[in-house]
Structure 1
Amino acid sequence: MTAQAQPRERLLDAAGDLFYRDGVNVGVDALCKAAGVSKKSMYQLFRSKDELIAETLASRGPRFQRALEPGPEDGTTPRERIQTVFQRQDRLVTGDRFLGCPFVNTAVELKNPEHPGSVVARHFKQRLTDFFEAELVAAGVDNPGSLAIQLTIVFDGASARAVVRAQALAGVGVAMAAALLDSAGVPAEEVASQAS
């Protein structure tokens, strides 16, 4: 965050850091102090703290997704693309800044499924499930929607384990995802050549 950043960006940056580290119950005074913005300015920029929570999550969500998902033109098979998410998660959780999935963290803390922050969190979690489902459709598996949900549960469970145990996953999520893909008959190699 630079001194030249506009108050809105400073608030989103500061809130993103504080909400992720300390939770969404951080007080408005602490948020404004960290951003170098007055409370009056904050309420001119955001109607409420609830709106700030939602917009902060929405602004950080795409960055978190890009850190996990392969690009659309990477040329790998659907199975490899799915496994990439779990391999990247495995690396991501080894950092000392990893405190869990920001979407799950926010939704669990808010507890209200109708809260604007919970709505944004649900949107991004659905995007991950949709990514898995699209790859499973491309792989030609039966019931791709159900398997996509199972993969999302593995992802979320692995994130939670990394936080609760305060240790690296050491490939646990990768292995569980591979077992699900194996049981669904998703081949390790030939999917791309079969599709062409």
Structure 2
Amino acid sequence: MATGTTTPRDRLLTAAADLFYREGVTATGVERLCSVAGVSKRTMYQLFPTKDALVAEALAATGPATNAAFLPDDAEVRPRERILHIFRVLEETAERTEFAGCQFINIASDLRDRTHPAAVVAREFKQQLVDWFAAEARAGGAADPDLLARQLTVVFDGSASRVVVYGSDLDGLSVTTAAALLDAAGVH
């Protein structure tokens, strides 16, 4: 990794986010992480008290951009289309060879500890998506916007996981499933 003008902290966060997404948290050792970041283990532990702290901070640093990448730009579009936009972006993203699923689910699943600092961060970012779905469902006139939000999140998470498990594209499955839920909830 080129060091350029980036700080060791920035290089560690970038390397951690990339390695943890592609290879997993438990499979990525501190030595490999430091090697890719171009820093010593001593420097890493001066900047982050533990690997766990680094995992949580790397996820917190990338989370906003990850969520924002799925959201529509146009607030003038009707709620139904705004919601379906997320699933269309998921379908497009899932077609990329580098797609390895949802980073939040991957890290939380890899850690298998709901109290781990990174699992807490992952849950907070997933809750942001649920809250966004609920607000849009409410604006779209859903009978039970909170239930619909949770259902849409299950479709989103399940779709991302399906791509990884089956190694194939979604072929419109997430969009049509989300549309069926929207229809059933009265969001037209």
Range of TM-score over shorter length: over 0.9
Match of 2:23 in 1: 22
Structure 2: runs of 5+ lacking an equivalent: none
Deviation at 1:74, TM superposition (A): 3.3
2:70 matches 1:68 = yes
2:99 matches 1:111 = no
TM-score by length of 2: 0.96
Amino acid at match of 2:63: G
Amino acid at match of 2:60: A
2:81 is paired with a residue whose SS is helix
Amino acid at match of 2:10: E
Match of 2:49 in 1: 47
Q: How does 1:130-145 map to 2 (within 5 A)?
A: 130-145=131-146
Distance (whole Å) between structure 2 residues aligned to residue 62 and residue 96 of structure 1: 22
Match of 1:11 in 2: 12
Distance (whole Å) between structure 1 residues aligned to residue 86 and residue 46 of structure 2: 39
Please list the CA deviations of residues 129-182 of structure 1 after superposition, one character each: whole Å capped at 9, or x if unmatched: 001000011112111111100000000010011111111111100000000000
2:67 matches 1:94 = no
Distance (whole Å) between structure 2 residues aligned to residue 101 and residue 184 of structure 1: 26
Distance (whole Å) between structure 2 residues aligned to residue 173 and residue 151 of structure 1: 9
Distance (whole Å) between structure 2 residues aligned to residue 180 and residue 74 of structure 1: 22
Q: State the aligned residue count.
A: 186
Structure 1: runs of 5+ lacking an equivalent: 188-196
Distance (whole Å) between structure 2 residues aligned to residue 175 and residue 118 of structure 1: 30
> What value does the CA root-mean-square deviation take over the aligned residues?
1.0
Distance (whole Å) between structure 1 residues aligned to residue 7 and residue 134 of structure 2: 39
Q: 1:36 aligns with which of 33, 38, 62?
A: 38
* Residues 80-89 or 137-146, more deviating: 137-146
2:107 touches 2:119 (CA, 8 Å); kept in 1? yes
Amino acid at match of 1:107: A
Identity score, percent: 51
2:70 touches 2:86 (CA, 8 Å); kept in 1? yes
Distance (whole Å) between structure 2 residues aligned to residue 141 and residue 183 of structure 1: 9
Match of 1:77 in 2: 78
Runs of 4+ in 1 over 6 A off after TM superposition: none
Match of 1:127 in 2: 128
Amino acid at match of 1:142: A
Deviation at 1:64, TM superposition (A): 1.0
